[in-house]
Amino acid sequence: MQIKDTDLKATAVAKAQATNSLQNIALTLLSNVAIAVSLALLLYLEDGGTLIFWWLAAAVAFALFRAWRVLAMKSSGLRESDPHRLLRFLTAMAFASGLLWSVVPLCFGAFLTQQALYCVVFIMAGTTTGAIIQSLAYSSTAIAFGTPLMGATLLRMLMSGSGVSYIIAADVVFLTLMLFRAAILGERNFIASQITAFEATDLAGSLAEANREVLSSNRALEQLVRTDPLTGLANRSHFRDVADAACRSGQGVAFVLFDIDNFKTINDTLGHDAGDRVLAEVADVLRSACQVDDLPVRLGGDEFIVVLQGSAVAARSAAFAEQLTRALSLPLTIAGQPQSISCSIGIAVHLEGDIAVDDLCARADAALYRAKEDGRARTRVFDEQMQTEFALQRRLDLDLPQALARGELHLEFQPQVTMATREVIGFEALLRWRHPSEGMIPPPDIVRAAFRLRLSNKLTAFVAERACAFVRALDASRTPRVKVAVNVSPREFSTHSPARILKDAAERYGVDPRRIEIEITEETMFDPKRCADELRLIHDYGFGLAVDDFGVGHSSIANLLAVELDTIKIDRSFIHDLPASCRNQQLVMAIAAVALPLGHRIIAEGVETEEEARALRSLGCIYGQGWLYGRPMAESDAIAWLARGSDGEAVAVAVSAA
Ligand code: C2E
Ligand code: CA
Ligand code: CA
């Protein structure tokens, strides 16, 4: 119970007093009747008068009337609604009863012997004492009852005129005052104890409430710390806790990892608010696809993951991915426009035993990577083949830092020629790593591992260094001053500036930047807008710029117009069956028609046969690179090869056999 102010406290105390009074009243009335009977008997035996029985009848009737009224009061709920009124009523009843009892000493006393009168005084004092003992919670009823009764007794004693009576009268006064004082003190104690009890309850109540508040703000804080504010989904830290427990449970667990295809384009074209709306909508779709035990999480950006648990996770994760793909294929309304989105999903399932969260995450990541590589908007499940590739990937991740530090990597140089004359115009620097146990590692794998390990800058610095050293070695051998092309991935642009790294190396080696051409190589889309700053630097420092693998779809003709290019390299895949493929011939012709008037050089990659070279030349392509002219060679071999004069197939074959 909360007692807030004095009024409320007074009412609560009155209620307690009323309760106590009502509890005691039955006994009070009963003893009242018993004493009245004994008093009537005493007086009857004393003088044989029967008038006293009329008084007895009145006293019993009034006691019954009080009992009836009290019962009615109890059931009326007055104790709760107005305890003060109830107490006033009880006081009035007690006073009326006191008046009735005062009749005995006043009216019957005159006919009694002195001795009988003393008995009456004794009974009256006893009755009053009894009333006081019964009313320790509320003194007014006892005082209201005792005052007329003791007053009448005192009066009768004074009226009797004897000396003994006066002494007894004095005792009666003293006794009455003591009794009333006891009644008042008793009530005070009762009130004090009640207030202490209320305050204790009050304190306990406030403590409980404070406790509840602390608990609820703790919960709110915890919720905040575990939730992504934009989507309301669990965040990365909550994911870690749940995923950790799931991965250690030894039972089935699956991670369904996905991100929204081309989310950056949505952000760039429709604005960040629209991007946020898309994320919130995706979160809603995700939530409705989840069952109670599944945990949907936003890891950050447009990356989401769902943790599924139980023995049927393999089937459930596949069904889940299907459901998600279907739900997301329905257009969303973003910024008032219907917006179609798709997502790429990677699933990793682990059925038995413990597994580290990071391992399962890496598997889901590998599957997602594969889904994107396969053209996005699809689901890939981590499988055995990925497992093998994944194991290799981990091996490379472990070994690359040391290999780089120990200089275990090297470059090979492949000539680029004027196809008609076989005159060498440059070399392309290609990365090589012969791994002690895994053999030759494909360069794109090295590049990806470096990116994962945030070592791309070191790798590029190594390539820049070796390429510049090669230029210096070429010059020292008095061979023609040809260019050297180095490959650079635009993915690096977000972490460092390859142009700056190359500039540093060129300065250190005293190499003219115009001798270096930077080939922008990328398996994903090459977006000149996002690369603009870096491309400008390349241009400003004086390096040449080439777009690699042209035609495979990532670079577009529009890009050619947007960028200050020197060279376009037509991808190997168009060259291979060029003599037979009309489509590829048309493509080469189209590239030549756009590029040549803009002053761009075209180099055909992967030229293996004379027919390919002839076809290329007839389509307007002048320069070529490929096994027909020369395989990638170690630095010293390339220099020797150039010094001897690039004398055709025989040289290339000899080098490749070496
Ligand atoms: P790319 O830039 O298109 O390099 C040409 C690839 O074609 C090289 O493969 C080369 O060995 C191969 N090639 C050349 N002529 C022929 C031919 O006549 N027939 C056939 N079948 N293949 C030929 P490689 O060395 O395995 O390099 C693969 C890719 O790795 C490169 O493709 C490039 O994208 C990337 N790469 C290589 N070195 C580096 C580097 O230092 N940095 C970066 N970022 N990427 C690199
Ligand atoms: Ca290249
Ligand atoms: Ca290429």
Q: What is the pLDDT of residues 326-367, one digit of tens each?
A: 999 988 888 788 888 999 999 999 999 999 999 999 999 999
Closest residue CA from atom 28 of ligand 1: 443
The domain covering 230-382 belongs, at the CATH homologous superfamily level, to Reverse transcriptase/Diguanylate cyclase domain (3.30.70.270)
Whole-angstrom distance, CA of residue 165 vs CA of residue 117: 10
Pairing of strands 253-260, 343-350: antiparallel
Whole-angstrom distance, CA of residue 159 vs CA of residue 490: 125
Using an 8 Å Cβ cutoff, are 348 and 364 in contact? yes
The position carrying tokens 């046969």 is 609
Residues 6 or more apart in contact with residue 154 via CB below 8 angstroms: 169, 172, 173, 176
The helix or strand, by DSSP H or E, that contains position 256, with its residue range, turns out to be: strand 253-260
**Any idea which ligand is nearest the CA of 502?**
1
Any idea of the CA torsion for 311, 316, 317, 320, to the nearest 10 degrees?
Answer: -150
**Any idea which ligand is nearest the CA of 633?**
1
490 pocket-lining for ligand 1 (C-beta < 6 Å): no
Which ligand 1 atom is at minimum distance from the Cα of 519?
2
Residues 6 or more apart in contact with residue 221 via CB below 8 angstroms: none
431 pocket-lining for ligand 1 (C-beta < 6 Å): yes
Extract the runs of DSSP E, i.e. beta strands, from 154-242. none
412 pocket-lining for ligand 1 (C-beta < 6 Å): no
Residues 6 or more apart in contact with residue 322 via CB below 8 angstroms: 379
According to the model, what pLDDT value does residue 648 have? 45
According to the model, what pLDDT value does residue 464 have? 98
Q: Give me ligand 2 centre to Cα 547, in Å.
A: 8
443 pocket-lining for ligand 1 (C-beta < 6 Å): yes
What percent of the chain shows pLDDT beyond 90?
Answer: 61
Using an 8 Å Cβ cutoff, are 658 and 637 in contact? yes
Any idea of the CA torsion for 193, 198, 204, 206, to the nearest 10 degrees?
Answer: -140
According to the model, what pLDDT value does residue 51 have? 87
176 pocket-lining for ligand 1 (C-beta < 6 Å): no
Q: In 3D, which of 525, 618, 527, 605 has the Cα closest to residue 569? A: 605
Any idea of the CA torsion for 168, 169, 173, 174, to the nearest 10 degrees?
Answer: -30
According to the model, what pLDDT value does residue 657 have? 32
According to the model, what pLDDT value does residue 553 have? 57
**Which of 416, 428, 430 to mutate for ligand 1's pocket (most ligand atoms within 8 Å of CB)?**
430
Closest residue CA from atom 11 of ligand 1: 632
**Which of 521, 628, 653 to mutate for ligand 1's pocket (most ligand atoms within 8 Å of CB)?**
521
Helices (H) and strands (E) in the chain — how many of each? Answer: 23, 17
Using an 8 Å Cβ cutoff, are 430 and 411 in contact? yes
Sign of CA dihedral 317, 320, 326, 328: negative
430 pocket-lining for ligand 1 (C-beta < 6 Å): yes
Which ligand 1 atom is at minimum distance from the Cα of 628?
18
Q: Given this structure, which CATH class describes domain 410-646?
A: alpha beta
According to the model, what pLDDT value does residue 373 have? 83
According to the model, what pLDDT value does residue 1 have? 46
Using an 8 Å Cβ cutoff, are 138 and 20 in contact? yes
SS (H, E, C) 539-577: HHHCCEEEEEEECCCCCCHHHHHHCCCCEEEECHHHHCC
Q: What is the pLDDT of residues 97-147, one digit of tens each?
A: 999 999 988 888 777 788 888 888 899 888 888 888 888 889 999 999 999
**Which of 434, 459, 468, 487 to mutate for ligand 1's pocket (most ligand atoms within 8 Å of CB)?**
487
According to the model, what pLDDT value does residue 221 have? 85
521 pocket-lining for ligand 1 (C-beta < 6 Å): yes
**How many whole angstroms from its chain centre is CA 91?**
65
Identify the three-state secondary structure at position 382: coil
According to the model, what pLDDT value does residue 654 have? 35
Residues of the chain with pLDDT under 70: 1-5, 522-528, 553-561, 646-658
Which amino acids are annotated catalytic?
302
According to the model, what pLDDT value does residue 656 have? 35
Tokens of 519: 């080939």
The helix or strand, by DSSP H or E, that contains position 372, with its residue range, turns out to be: helix 357-373
